[in-house]
């Protein structure tokens, strides 16, 4: 045992919300540039404490220390990024149909926002909820995961060392069924932003219906990786492995299923299995840490049961913690649970395909979205195909009107794109996006695009200069 936390009752949650509501009016009246200044104070405190933050994250969540350092540093960068919106949030003047009249559109804060967090990137996700909420004049109450409360307590302590007015940022600890439920059902909460499982997100949406509370949900992923016959198989195996073992596979946009051309499947599986077997884990934590808890281990064990493994497939016999062997499964079918459900662990199920159209159909055959990747050496494999996203945006005061056009663009092997979750270059085909939208004054609004692929008879358009992820 490394700590004990309270299971905050409804009375404690109400106290935090009352404090946030009391502080919100004064916070909203501050010019945005002054609110940005307070955010920069928080980011500066984080940069001064990266090492102790990283050690707390690694201790309670099992993340390897280098990745925990990245998380701490990136959190500061993200807060600074949101602070820059002080100069970017604008209203609109809309022409009226009536003579002598113009319509003025103002962005207004919502009020009190509730942020409910998962445990996989616990420190960063505090900022992910807090920074946009505060920047846009809202106040917030955060409930961290009961699995990772210590880093949240450290975050709160650093905030108290800044000049941020009291009540603007608040934190309550406890389990979802008690503390989380009190937070989501409170009538003074104007929006709930949640990152986590589909099951919990569905429950939150049902709870919020009673007060017609807005919800912002980021729920799971089942990212496909397609390996075409002409791909650099060594590169594909290496990048897919790196994406999968990142944070022990407990990342929503990590590759969760692999589709490989039948003609090269034996070669690719051999290389992928070798990469996964070479993963170092245990004590010291070098490449990969443990699964978050025994329930997570049990879920992974159940999903891989009955599948044919060429690497791993069981709990690691280390005599300690919740380590699961890096696993490669073969001869998988599209209807298997390990293909349909989110595994959230170091497991790579492999499905073979006969042509790219079948692979694309398999990749799109999911209720999840987030990311996808394709590995090929040439543009021929993807010529004539476009990706058409189905985009759903939720905002706080106003609903974002997003018109998104995406097209596939081919790059040369020298300018390859990055594999989901790995941060490293991989394939030679990417999706470029151009977007025109009105900026919502959302406290934690998020646009999520689920990519789908369609065959097009037209030739691919040239790449958009500077297009990013």
pLDDT band at 383 (very low <50, low <70, confident <90, very high): low
Is residue 252 annotated as a catalytic residue, yes or no? yes
Which residues, 6+ apart, have CB-to-CB distance to 38 below 8 Å? 134, 162, 163, 164, 165, 168
Tell me if 10-93+103-219 shares its fold with 223-455: no
Q: What confidence score (pLDDT) does residue 368 get? A: 87
For residue range 342-368, what is the model confidence (pLDDT) as tens digits? 999 999 999 999 999 999 999 999 988
Q: What confidence score (pLDDT) does residue 317 get? A: 84
Q: What confidence score (pLDDT) does residue 2 get? A: 83
- Please state, in angstroms and rounded to a whole number, the distance separating the CA atoms of residues 376 and 230: 6
Residue closest to 138 by CA, chosen among 220, 284, 25: 25
Say if residue 302's pLDDT is above 90: yes
Average pLDDT of the segment spanning 198-213:
95
Say if residue 338's pLDDT is above 50: yes
The pTM for the full model equals 0.80
Q: What confidence score (pLDDT) does residue 1 get? A: 80
The topology under which CATH files domain 223-455 is Aldehyde Dehydrogenase; Chain A, domain 2 (3.40.309)
Q: What confidence score (pLDDT) does residue 319 get? A: 77
Query: Catalytic pick from 71, 218, 325, 342?
Result: 218
Share of the chain above pLDDT 70, in %: 80
For residue range 239-256, what is the model confidence (pLDDT) as tens digits? 999 999 999 999 999 999
Average pLDDT of the segment spanning 400-420:
31
Say if residue 318's pLDDT is above 90: no
- Please state, in angstroms and rounded to a whole number, the distance separating the CA atoms of residues 141 and 156: 11
Which residue spans within 27-179 are E strands per DSSP? Answer: 92-95, 102-105, 112-116, 139-143, 169-171
More confident residue, 393 or 87: 87
Task: Say how many CA atoms lie within 13 Å of 41 toward its Cβ.
Answer: 14
Residues in the chain: 469
Domain boundaries, the chain: 10-93+103-219, 223-455
Say if residue 74's pLDDT is above 80: yes
Mean of pLDDT over the chain: 84
Average pLDDT of the segment spanning 193-219:
95
Is residue 60 annotated as a catalytic residue, yes or no? no
Query: Catalytic pick from 71, 252, 332, 393?
Result: 252
Q: What confidence score (pLDDT) does residue 3 get? A: 87
Say if residue 382's pLDDT is above 60: no
Q: What confidence score (pLDDT) does residue 381 get? A: 57
- Please state, in angstroms and rounded to a whole number, the distance separating the CA atoms of residues 18 and 22: 6
- Please state, in angstroms and rounded to a whole number, the distance separating the CA atoms of residues 36 and 425: 34
| DSSP, res 174 | S
CB 387 within 8 Å of CB 467: no
Average pLDDT of the segment spanning 419-444:
33
Enclosing H/E stretch for 191: strand 189-196
pLDDT band at 284 (very low <50, low <70, confident <90, very high): low
Q: Which CATH architecture is the domain 10-93+103-219 placed in?
A: 3-Layer(aba) Sandwich (3.40)
User: By three-state DSSP, how is residue 327 classified?
Assistant: strand
- Please state, in angstroms and rounded to a whole number, the distance separating the CA atoms of residues 256 and 114: 30
Average pLDDT of the segment spanning 444-463:
33
For residue range 153-188, what is the model confidence (pLDDT) as tens digits? 999 999 999 999 999 999 999 999 999 999 999 999
Residue closest to 453 by CA, chosen among 469, 435, 430: 430
């Amino acid at each position: 045992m490394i700590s004990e936390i309270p299971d905050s009752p409804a009375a404690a949650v109400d106290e935090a919300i009352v404090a946030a509501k009391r502080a919100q009016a004064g916070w909203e009246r501050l010019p945005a540039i002054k609110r940005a200044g307070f955010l920069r104070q928080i980011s500066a405190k984080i940069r001064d404490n990266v090492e102790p933050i990283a050690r707390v994250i690694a201790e309670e969540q099992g993340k390897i220390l280098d990745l925990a350092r990245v998380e701490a540093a990136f959190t500061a960068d993200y807060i600074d990024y949101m602070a820059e919106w002080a100069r970017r949030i604008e209203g609109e003047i809309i022409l009226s149909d009536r003579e002598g009249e113009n319509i003025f559109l103002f962005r207004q804060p919502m009020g009190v926002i509730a942020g409910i967090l998962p445990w996989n990137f616990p420190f960063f996700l505090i900022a992910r909820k807090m920074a946009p909420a505060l920047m846009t004049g809202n106040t917030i109450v955060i409930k961290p995961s009961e699995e990772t409360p210590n880093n949240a307590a450290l975050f709160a302590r650093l905030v108290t060392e800044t000049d941020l007015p009291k009540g603007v940022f608040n934190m309550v600890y406890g389990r979802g069924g008690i503390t989380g439920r009190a937070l989501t059902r409170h009538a003074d909460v104007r929006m709930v932003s949640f990152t986590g499982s589909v099951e919990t997100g569905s429950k939150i949406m049902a709870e919020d219906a009673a007060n017609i509370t807005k919800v912002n949900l980021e729920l799971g992923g089942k990212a496909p990786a397609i390996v075409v016959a002409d791909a650099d198989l060594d590169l594909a195996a290496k990048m897919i492995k790196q994406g999968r073992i990142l944070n022990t596979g407990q990342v929503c946009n990590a590759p969760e299923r692999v589709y490989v051309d039948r003609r090269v499947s034996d070669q690719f599986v051999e290389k992928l299995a070798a990469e996964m077997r070479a993963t170092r884990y245990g004590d010291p934590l070098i490449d990969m840490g443990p699964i978050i808890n025994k329930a997570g281990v049990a879920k992974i064990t159940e999903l891989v049961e009955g599948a044919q493994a060429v690497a791993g497939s069981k709990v690691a016999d280390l005599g300690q913690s919740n380590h699961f062997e890096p696993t490669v499964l073969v001869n998988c079918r599209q209807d298997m649970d390990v293909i349909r459900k989110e595994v959230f662990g170091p497991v790579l199920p492999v499905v073979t395909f006969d042509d790219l159209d079948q692979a694309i159909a398999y990749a799109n055959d999911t209720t999840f979205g987030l990311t996808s990747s394709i590995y090929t050496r040439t543009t021929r494999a993807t010529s004539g195909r476009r990706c058409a996203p189905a985009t759903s945006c939720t905002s706080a005061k106003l609903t974002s009107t997003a018109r998104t056009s995406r097209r596939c663009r081919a790059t040369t092997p020298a300018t390859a794109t990055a594999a989901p979750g790995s941060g490293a270059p991989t394939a030679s085909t990417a999706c470029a996006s151009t977007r025109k939208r009105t900026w919502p004054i959302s406290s934690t609004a998020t646009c999520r695009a689920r990519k789908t692929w369609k065959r097009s008879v037209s030739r691919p358009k040239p790449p958009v200069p500077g297009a990013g992820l």
